[in-house]
Amino acid sequence: MRLRRRRQCFPSCSSLHRVDEDEIYWRQKKGDEELEWSHSSAHIISQLTQCFANAMVGPRSWVGGLFNRSSNKRNEKFIDYPLCPLQEQRLQRLQERLQVPFEETRPDHQEALRALWHAAFPNIAFKGLISEQWKEMGWQGPNPSTDFRGCGLISLENLLFFARTYPASFHRLLFKQGGQRAAWEYPFAVAGINVSFMLIQMLDLSSVKPRCLPGINFIKLLGDDEEAFDELYCIAFEMMDAQWLAMNASYMDFNEVLQVTRTQLERELSLEDINRIQDLPAYNLLYQ
C-alpha cells in the first residue's frame, strides 16, 4: 500500500539520523493493490479483521510467489558473503520452520493454540479450538486455524513466544492499554500474523541466504541468539503499536503503519554497532 505522506518516526527511535532516501536502498515503493473498505456499520468489525488478514490468507504457493517477486528487487551487491557454520545451521532451521503449515488436526498444533489461549486469558475458561471466544483475541472468526493459511505455524509460534517471554508487553497490546487509542483498533491476533509475514519478507528469508542489508545483519544476530527471529517479532509488534499511537491511526491506516514500522526496523537493523538483539534501539520498548 502506498504511503500517503511521510510520517515522523516514534520518539524512542528519533535519535536515528534521517538519511536522504536516494541513498537508502530499501525505500522501495510497494506497488501492491490497495484494499477496498466497506463503511457499512453493520459489518465493519468483520470486514476490518478480514482486511487485515487478506495478506495472510491464501495458498502457500501465492505467498512463495510474493516472496520471490520481492527478493528479485534486492540489491545484488550483498549476495556474496560468508556464513559461519553456526549461522548457516541456524538459518536453515529457521527456514525449515517457515515451511511448516498449521494443521488443525495435529495434536501438537492444537496444543500450541490451546497454550496461546491460556497465556492470553489465564482466568477465562477455554471453550474449544473452534469457539466464538477466539474473536476476543482478534481472530477473524471462531476458527483461528483459517487465519494461518498464508504464514503457517511460525506465526502461531511467534505469538506464543511473545506471550510467554514478554507477558506484560503482550497483554498491554492485546488489551490496547496505554496511549490515546482509536475508536476502531487493529485486531490483535490478525495484526500479529501480518507482523510475522512482514518480517519474513523484510529479511529475505525465502532466499538461500538474505540478499539485503537488514537480512544480512539479522544473520549476525541469529548467530548470537537462535531465538533472534522470535525476539525481533516481539520488537516489531511493539514498534507497530508505537507507530499506531504516534500516527493517531485507525483501522484504515494499518497498512501504512506496518510499512512505516518496516522502514524504521530496516534502519535499526542496518546500524553498524548492532551485534545482539538487545542492541536494537527499539528493544527498550519491550516490557520485561
pLDDT in the model for residue 66: 33
Which parts of the chain have pLDDT scores under 50?
1-76
pLDDT in the model for residue 238: 97
Sign of the CA dihedral with 54 first, then 286, 154, and 92 last: positive
- CB 128: neighbour CB atoms within 10 A? 12
CB-CB contact of 210 with 152 (8 Å): no
CA pair distance 141, 145, nearest whole angstrom = 10
pLDDT in the model for residue 251: 85
Residue 100: burial class (beta carbons within 10 Å; 0-12, 13-18, 19+): middle
pLDDT in the model for residue 159: 98
Give the pTM.
Answer: 0.75
